[in-house]
């Protein structure tokens, strides 16, 4: 009984102070989309000089906080250590990121963008034989 009086008194004090308690909205939603963009090489056929593997692109939407994002992850290797490095360029509307690998060792790369974007990845060795792939949500 004392607890009920205390809660009633708290409710009256909150209303008097202008505090309004609202239940969480049922309109809240989040969603994500995952694309496994796989593996590919440059040049597209023949002897590989540059390779990408374990490529993924993830998009996340959050309607409550409006924290939308696009994340790209992949492994890159210079498979022909001939003095010309493997190069991957990840591009989206906010900008691009360039990654290189020259030693024949798989290296992991990850980039995130604040927002939902179409992503283009261009793989080449040096400036030769670019192979470009695009991914959209």
pLDDT tens digit sequence for 95-134: 999 999 999 999 999 999 999 999 999 999 978 889 999 9
pTM (predicted TM-score): 0.76
For the four alpha carbons of 39, 42, 47 and 49, in that order, the dihedral sign comes to: negative
pLDDT tens digit sequence for 70-92: 999 999 999 988 889 999 999 99
The per-type count for the chain, helices as H runs and strands as E runs, is 1, 8
Domains and CATH numbers, the chain: 31-135 (2.60.40)
pLDDT tens digit sequence for 28-72: 567 899 999 999 999 999 999 999 999 999 999 987 877 899 999
Beta sheet of 107-114, edge-to-edge order: 30-42, 50-62, 69-78, 107-114
pLDDT at residue 1 greater than cutoff 90: no
HSE-up (13 A, CA, CB side) for residue 115 = 7
């Amino acid at each position: 009984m004392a607890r009920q009086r205390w809660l009633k008194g708290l409710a009256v004090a909150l209303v008097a102070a202008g505090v309004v308690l609202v239940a969480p909205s049922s309109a809240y939603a989040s969603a994500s989309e995952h694309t496994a963009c796989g593996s590919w090489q440059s040049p597209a056929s023949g002897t590989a000089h540059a390779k990408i593997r374990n490529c993924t692109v993830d998009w996340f939407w959050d309607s409550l906080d409006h924290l939308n994002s696009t994340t790209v992850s992949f492994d890159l290797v210079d498979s022909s250590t001939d003095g010309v490095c493997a190069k991957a360029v990840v591009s989206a509307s906010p900008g691009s990121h360039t990654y290189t690998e020259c030693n024949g060792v798989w290296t992991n790369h990850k980039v995130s963008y604040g927002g939902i974007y179409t992503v283009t990845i261009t793989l080449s060795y040096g400036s030769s034989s670019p192979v470009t792939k695009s991914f959209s949500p």
